[in-house]
Amino acid sequence: MGLSFFHPLRSGLVALLLIAGCTSRYQRDLGGDPERVVSKTYLANFDLAWLAALDALKSYPMDVSNREGGSLQTKWVENTAERNLVESFGPGVSYLKAQFRYRISLAKTKYDESDAVRISVQRSQLIQRDVLEGWKPIGSDEIEEKTLLYRIGQLISVKRRLQAIEDERTQRAVENSPLNASPARTTDPGSTPIDSKPQEQ
């Protein structure tokens, strides 16, 4: 009776272990979670962050650019050679085709009562091993996403400094404008200023 009671339980545990093993192998083959999103918050206004994100993606063809919604998405970009080069240093897997795209979202937020923007990056990578196999997503090691976020951060810093220089230049121009100069007091060359008249005795 005891053996018959534990037999179904043991069979269930074996099945769960087999499923877990297959899942782990599948995740290793795909490289992790294909829907992973990497985020970072920057002290900047939305306009500055938006321009920095656009500049960071300027080498990629754009599919979506929605400023009001704070979303950017590139078109699919072929990178078969790059993926095969990376895999040559690993298990030696080769791909027939490979392509990727970036999705970026920007959201206004606050940090210590200062304007800030939270930027999230998702890099989707698809691969095809042979002509009989369709496109399959593979996970990310987050290196590309973190590199892109670093580039965006650098561009925000550069644009902030340039904006500060431009604001200072504009302020100096306004202060030195003739319209802001104090009007000079003019007097008749043949007359004596009122405050310079000799007092009568």
Of the candidates 113, 111, 102, the residue with the CA atom closest to the CA atom of residue 42: 111
Mean pLDDT of the region 161-182: 83
The pLDDT of residue 123 is 97
- In angstroms, the CA 116 to CA 95 distance is 41
Q: For residue 184, what pLDDT is reported?
A: 53
- Give the per-residue pLDDT at 182: 57
Closest CA to 141 of 123, 127, 128, 129: 123
How remote is the C-alpha of 192 from its chain's centroid?
A: 71
Model pLDDT, residue 22: 39
The arithmetic mean of pLDDT across residues 35-41, rounded, is 93
Q: What is the mean pLDDT of residues 65-84?
A: 96
User: Is the per-residue pLDDT at 14 higher than 60?
Assistant: no
Q: Is residue 57 pLDDT above 80, yes or no? A: yes
pLDDT in tens, 92-144: 678 999 999 999 999 999 999 999 999 999 999 999 998 888 999 999 989 99
Amino acid at 24: S
- Say whether pTM exceeds 0.85: no
Query: At residue 7, does pLDDT exceed 80?
Result: no
What's the average model confidence in pLDDT over 54-73?
97
Q: Domain limits of the chain?
A: 29-173
**CA–centroid distance for 39 within its chain:** 8
Q: For 49-73, what is the mean pLDDT?
A: 97
What's the confidence (pLDDT) of residue 131?
85
Per the prediction, the chain carries an average pLDDT of 80
Residue 192's DSSP bridge partners are none
Residues 7-12, mean pLDDT to the nearest whole number: 43
Q: How confident is the model at residue 180 (pLDDT cuts 50, 70, 90)?
A: low
**pLDDT at residue 56, rounded to an integer:** 97
User: Is residue 26 pLDDT above 50, yes or no?
Assistant: no
CATH for 29-173? Answer: 3.30.530
| Average pLDDT, integer, range 19-46 | 66
Q: Which pLDDT value is given to residue 28?
A: 40
Q: What pLDDT, on a 0 to 100 scale, did the predictor assign at position 93?
A: 78
